[in-house]
């Protein structure tokens, strides 16, 4: 089978596929949702991300000075392992910084979500209260 034939077959099969949903025959759609997340849940997850950030920030980079000393020593003795250690350290440091950034982003986003939700709730309660008051004046 040529690439074009195979590609055409895959496209026709995927055209009938519905992503991000439940097929109608399995009872999808309508009905009550059981998805519920409270502000306390979001805050707890955000706090876990913050704890991971602080723990990992403290522990991830402690070998940097020793790696520098060892790499220079190995390079000075003519071993290629010294430059390989630097490559490994640069890769590790980059991955650690990415993880730290992700933890900070998760914490900040969830903290903002909790505050935003609280603000929305306050607006809704205020608007509902105002509509109830207005009914009494009509």
How much is the pLDDT for 57?
A: 87
The answer to pTM > 0.85 is no
Length in residues, the chain: 138
Domain boundaries, the chain: 39-137
Helix and strand tally (H, E) in the chain?
4, 0
Q: Angle 39-60/81-137 helices, nearest 10 degrees?
A: 160
Each residue of 30-68: pLDDT tens digit? 556 666 777 788 888 888 888 989 998 888 888 887 888
Higher pLDDT, 138 or 65: 65
Helix (H, G, I), strand (E, B) or coil at 57: helix
């Amino acid at each position: 089978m040529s690439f074009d034939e195979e590609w055409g077959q895959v496209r026709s099969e995927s055209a009938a596929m519905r992503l991000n949903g439940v097929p109608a025959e399995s009872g999808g759609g309508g009905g009550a949702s059981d998805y519920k997340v409270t502000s306390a849940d979001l805050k707890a997850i955000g706090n876990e991300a913050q704890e991971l950030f602080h723990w990992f920030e403290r522990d991830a980079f402690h070998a940097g000075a020793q790696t520098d000393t060892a790499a220079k020593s190995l390079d000075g003795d003519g071993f290629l392992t010294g430059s390989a250690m630097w490559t490994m350290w640069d890769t590790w440091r980059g991955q650690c910084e990415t993880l730290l950034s992700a933890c900070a982003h998760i914490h900040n986003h969830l903290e903002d979500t909790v505050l935003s939700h609280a603000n929305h709730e306050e607006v809704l309660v205020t608007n509902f209260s105002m509509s109830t008051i207005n009914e009494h004046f009509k």
